[in-house]
Amino acid sequence: MTLARPPSVRFLLAHPAHFFACGCGSGLAPWAPGTFGTLFAWASFILFRPHFGDGQLLFLFAVAYLAGIWFIEVAGRALGEPDHGSIVWDEIVPFWFVLLLAPPGWLWQLAAFLLFRLFDISKPQPARWFDEKVKNGFGVMADDLVAAGYTLFVLALLRYTIGG
């Protein structure tokens, strides 16, 4: 990901893939767009969680993940960068998975948010490999899925260690 200037609202609305790849506008933040995208994921999860069962959400998130590969491919090509900073769908969908699988409660969600951002920014292997070597929608989505896996692993360790 680079720290390129965010695209315009006109770009956001020019194509449905742009709209979703840029996190429904959250990726247009002038600084820390990945954090804004993750905050958007958290807020939207809170809004739609009560209306769906776990199985329904897993299915919807899987569809959103696969569609995200295409969204990011289209938007990245239009922006001239496969992992432009304004593309945040790759933060949103994996963080939805994290929130679905995390222990209940806002403190666990806060811990999940902080851990996810840490792993997304630091890119431990194999996330770094996807980030550096796979320059397309699949690679952009995959590195954040790895960050989600690390987040869930640490949350599980914390829950086992401290209970909850």
At 21 the pLDDT is 98
Q: Where are the beta strands (DSSP E) in the chain?
A: none
Q: How far apart are CA 34 and CA 15, in angstroms?
A: 21
Report the pLDDT averaged over residues 14-40.
97
Report the pLDDT averaged over residues 9-28.
97
At 163 the pLDDT is 74
Backbone angles phi, psi at 99, to 5 degrees: -65, -35
Tell me the two tokens of residue 28.
Answer: 């247009």
Closest CA to 61 of 3, 123, 144: 144
Report the pLDDT averaged over residues 156-164.
88
At 127 the pLDDT is 81
Span 95-146, pLDDT tens digits: 999 999 999 999 999 999 999 999 999 998 998 888 888 899 999 999 999 9
Closest CA to 89 of 145, 154, 11, 149: 145
At 2 the pLDDT is 45
Q: Percentage of the chain surpassing pLDDT 90?
A: 88
